[in-house]
């Protein structure tokens, strides 16, 4: 490794992530992309030497807390660790990753624009809490959880869903759980103004890509926290596949908040994946969402009961002329007629139309295959 290196990809257990980042910060001043897979995170025990978060009891009473990183904790990272000027970071299958260690990693990357966390043992809620304070230039975030990690959802108040996550330590294999609650926007703004000297947060983000796949503890409150105060006009991809806790409420509030915006809210959105978001049950929510996304070329509405003939017709008539992929797997409220209209009008561009287990006849399935030459 040297000062002219632009891209570094590492896979293996010999080196630890913390050591790699320290060496990169010292020697690879032009590095733009860092990718680390299947290694241990670090020997340092940040939890034992710092108190990373401050707790504020909410108006809902004892037991409901807002968790955020204190300014002193973040300042300590800046003062003790040399920053990395990388723009893209991929972490996949990092062993023994904790919330505090991830915060230490990300806060060292002030110019990061793209973050990918694959097979992550951390729950999505603490990850978004970290991004509330770090990586002010971040535009793209992709998250997928480790399939075997233990995560538990604890339903409470609709706006204050709590999440506990359990991770193991290299020094101590006993379980450690942390209760996390997302901010609501009014509560967040109140604490920012009242405690600005105690912690700092990033400003308005300009998102281009948000992917959170099968994050079972993701909630409406967390989604609002990500999108409500952000600039969404540059978004190109949204992938919330398999997040069964997202409901109509979050989407409706985001759309209503931006309803006066012109041009359409998601003007540049090309890919929209809501497959498996089974709590989205209102037809009108999908209609309003599609009207705000005129340039879609890839749509996944699998398993959504809200998909009706009106929704299919909106896709047929309102989406980009380059629409090539539509997925209606398991949709039980659509009819043969709407699917035939979609095929007839979009046959020149459609390359994938999934209607497995949908409420259409065998004859229509054959019609689709013949028309699209699948």
Percent of the chain exceeding pLDDT 70 equals 78
Q: Which of 255, 325, 263, 264 is nearest to 284 (CA)?
A: 255
Inform me whether the pLDDT recorded for 267 exceeds 50. yes
Average pLDDT over residues 246-267: 84
Res 157: pLDDT: 35
Average pLDDT over residues 230-240: 94
Burial (CB count within 10 angstroms: exposed 0-12, middle 13-18, buried 19+), residue 370: exposed
Contact predicate 90/36, CB 8 Å: yes
Res 260: pLDDT: 66
Lowest mean pLDDT among 184-193, 225-234, 321-330: 184-193
Res 75: pLDDT: 84
Inform me whether the pLDDT recorded for 270 exceeds 90. yes
Res 77: pLDDT: 85
Contact predicate 6/61, CB 8 Å: no
Domain membership of residue 252 (yes or no) is yes
Question: Which residue has better confidence, 17 or 71?
Answer: 17
Residue 348 sits in which domain range? Answer: 232-374
Calculate ∠ Cα 92-96-99, nearest 5°.
Answer: 90
Res 53: pLDDT: 52
Task: List the structure tokens of 103.
Answer: 């915060």
- DSSP structure string for 2-62: -TT--EEEEESSSS-HHHHHHHHHHH-TT--EEEEES-B--S--HHHH---EEEEE-TT-T
Task: List the structure tokens of 226.
Answer: 């990500």
Inform me whether the pLDDT recorded for 253 exceeds 60. yes
Lowest mean pLDDT among 62-66, 106-110, 224-228, 336-340: 62-66
Inform me whether the pLDDT recorded for 342 exceeds 80. yes
Lowest mean pLDDT among 123-132, 342-351, 363-372: 123-132
- Tell me how far apart the alpha carbons of residues 319 and 273 are, in angstroms, rounded to a whole number: 15
Give the model confidence (pLDDT) of 9-19 as tens digits.
999 988 999 99
Indicate the length of the chain as a whole number. 374
Any idea what the CATH number is for the domain that residue 293 is in? Answer: 3.80.10.10
- Tell me how far apart the alpha carbons of residues 52 and 239 are, in angstroms, rounded to a whole number: 30
Question: Which residue has better confidence, 193 or 329?
Answer: 329
Burial (CB count within 10 angstroms: exposed 0-12, middle 13-18, buried 19+), residue 203: exposed
Res 217: pLDDT: 84
Contact predicate 208/236, CB 8 Å: yes
What is the Cβ-side half-sphere exposure of residue 82, based on CA atoms within 13 angstroms?
A: 12
- Tell me how far apart the alpha carbons of residues 181 and 52 are, in angstroms, rounded to a whole number: 16
Domain membership of residue 360 (yes or no) is yes
Radius of gyration of the chain (CA): 22
For residue 263, whether the previous peptide bond is cis, meaning omega lies within 30 degrees of 0, is: yes
Res 63: pLDDT: 32
Overall pTM surpassing 0.85 (yes/no)? no
Res 153: pLDDT: 43
Contact predicate 201/132, CB 8 Å: yes
Domain membership of residue 336 (yes or no) is yes
Inform me whether the pLDDT recorded for 274 exceeds 60. yes
Domain membership of residue 290 (yes or no) is yes
Average pLDDT over residues 72-95: 90
The count of domains in the chain is: 1
Give the model confidence (pLDDT) of 18-39 as tens digits.
999 999 999 999 999 999 999 9
Inform me whether the pLDDT recorded for 64 exceeds 90. no
Contact predicate 117/146, CB 8 Å: no
Give the model confidence (pLDDT) of 148-183 as tens digits.
776 544 433 333 333 333 333 333 333 333 333 333
Domain membership of residue 374 (yes or no) is yes
Contact predicate 280/246, CB 8 Å: yes
Average pLDDT over residues 115-143: 92
């Amino acid at each position: 490794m040297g000062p002219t290196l632009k891209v570094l990809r590492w896979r293996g257990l010999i080196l630890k992530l913390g050591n790699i980042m320290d060496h990169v910060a010292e020697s690879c001043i032009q590095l733009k992309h860092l990718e680390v897979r299947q290694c241990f995170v670090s020997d340092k025990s940040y939890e034992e030497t710092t108190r990373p978060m401050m707790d504020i009891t909410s108006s809902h009473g004892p037991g409901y807390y807002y968790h955020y990183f204190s300014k002193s904790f973040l300042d300590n990272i800046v003062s003790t660790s040399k920053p990395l000027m990388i723009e893209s970071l991929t972490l996949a299958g990092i062993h023994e990753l904790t919330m505090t260690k991830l915060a230490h990693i990300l806060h060292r990357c002030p110019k990061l624009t793209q973050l990918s966390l694959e097979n992550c043992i951390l729950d999505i809620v603490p990850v978004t809490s970290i991004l509330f304070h770090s990586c002010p230039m971040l535009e793209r975030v992709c998250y997928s959880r480790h399939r075997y990690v233990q995560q538990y959802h604890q339903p409470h108040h609709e706006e204050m869903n709590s999440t506990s996550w359990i991770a193991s330590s290299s020094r101590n294999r006993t379980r450690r759980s942390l209760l996390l609650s997302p901010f609501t926007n009014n509560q967040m703004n109140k604490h920012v103004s009242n405690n600005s000297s105690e912690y700092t947060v990033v400003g308005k983000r300009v998102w281009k890509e948000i992917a959170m796949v099968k994050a079972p503890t993701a909630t409406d409150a967390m989604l609002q926290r990500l999108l409500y105060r952000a600039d969404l006009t540059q978004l190109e991809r949204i992938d919330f596949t398999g997040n069964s806790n997202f409901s109509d409420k979050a989407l409706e509030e985001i759309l209503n908040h931006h309803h006066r915006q012109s041009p359409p809210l998601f003007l540049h959105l090309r890919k929209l994946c809501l497959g498996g978001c089974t709590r989205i049950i209102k037809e009108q929510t999908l209609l309003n969402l599609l009207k705000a996304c005129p340039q879609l070329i890839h749509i996944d509405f699998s398993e959504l009961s809200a998909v009706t003939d009106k929704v299919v017709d909106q896709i047929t008539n309102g989406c980009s002329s380059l629409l090539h992929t539509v997925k209606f797997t398991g949709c039980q409220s659509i009819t043969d007629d709407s699917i035939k209209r979609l095929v007839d009008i979009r046959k020149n561009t459609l390359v994938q139309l999934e209607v497995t287990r949908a409420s259409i006849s065998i004859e229509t399935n054959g019609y689709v295959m013949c028309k699209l030459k699948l």
